[in-house]
């Protein structure tokens, strides 16, 4: 099992930037594909971005492509989500997730989840 802890959320004005971090416990971080999801009240948790075990492959939701960048640092057991040009529509609780299989785009593709960090974008 792996424990995931998100950080970096907060309040930002539209057009601003935030950098989310997801720190994983243990020394098996490199064995997991990592993903970010977000959720607002009344909506399903939706895929935002994902990165493969090697870091060579990434996937982004159409709504964030070109604005968000996902990367990982295996030496630090950490994955980062750089969010630029933020919009009020990006307001949500953001969750980090880990998969032992592959870089997926659905909730079922991920086995472990963090507790989330809130991102609020004001207009």
If you average pLDDT over residues 31-57, what whole number do you get? 94
Mean pLDDT computed over every residue of the chain: 94
Residue 27: pLDDT band (50, 70, 90) is low
- CA-to-CA distance for 64 and 76, rounded, in angstroms? 25
Residue 90: pLDDT band (50, 70, 90) is very high
Closest among 57, 68, 59 to 92, alpha carbons compared: 68
More confident residue, 31 or 6: 6
Contact call for residues 33 and 47 (beta carbons, < 8 A): no
Which pLDDT belongs to residue 75? 86
If you average pLDDT over residues 24-50, what whole number do you get? 90
Distances (CA, A) of 22 to 14, 43, 83: 23, 23, 14
If you average pLDDT over residues 75-85, what whole number do you get? 94
101 phi-psi bin (left φ>0, alpha ψ -120 to 50, beta other): alpha
If you average pLDDT over residues 12-41, what whole number do you get? 92
Give the E-state strand segments of the chain in sequence order: 4-7, 10-13, 18-24, 33-39, 46-51, 58-60, 68-73, 78-83, 92-99, 112-113, 117-122
If you average pLDDT over residues 4-13, what whole number do you get? 97
């Amino acid at each position: 099992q792996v424990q995931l802890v998100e950080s970096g959320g907060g309040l930002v004005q539209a057009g601003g930037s935030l950098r989310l971090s997801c720190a994983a416990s243990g020394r098996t971080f490199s064995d997991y594909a990592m993903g970010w999801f977000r959720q607002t009240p009344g909506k399903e948790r939706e895929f935002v971005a994902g990165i493969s075990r090697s870091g060579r492959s990434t996937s982004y939701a159409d709504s964030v492509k070109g604005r968000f960048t996902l990367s990982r640092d295996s030496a630090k057991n950490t994955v980062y989500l750089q969010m630029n040009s933020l919009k009020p529509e990006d307001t949500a609780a953001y969750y980090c997730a880990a998969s032992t299989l592959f870089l997926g785009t659905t909730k079922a593709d991920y086995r472990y989840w963090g507790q989330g960090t809130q991102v609020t974008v004001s207009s």
